Amino acid sequence: MVVRAIRAATRLQRDDADEMAVAVVEMLTALIDDNGLSRDQLISVLFTATPDLHSCFPAAAARGMGLTDVPLMCAQELDVSGSMQMVIRAMVHVDTELPRSELTHPYLRGTDALRATAPTVAGPAPA
Our answer to whether residue 107 is catalytic in this structure is yes
Please pick, among 63, 100, 102, 109, the residue that the annotation labels catalytic: 63
Give the strands of the sheet with 72-76, arranged side by side.
3-11, 87-95, 42-49, 72-76
Our answer to whether residue 63 is catalytic in this structure is yes
Please pick, among 7, 19, 26, 56, the residue that the annotation labels catalytic: 7
Cα–Cα dist 1/93, whole Å: 12
Q: What element of type H or E holds 46?
A: strand 42-49
Please pick, among 11, 77, 97, 109, the residue that the annotation labels catalytic: 77
Please pick, among 19, 26, 74, 109, the residue that the annotation labels catalytic: 74
Our answer to whether residue 109 is catalytic in this structure is no
Our answer to whether residue 89 is catalytic in this structure is yes
Our answer to whether residue 11 is catalytic in this structure is no
Our answer to whether residue 97 is catalytic in this structure is no
Residues tagged active-site: 7, 63, 74, 77, 89, 107, 115
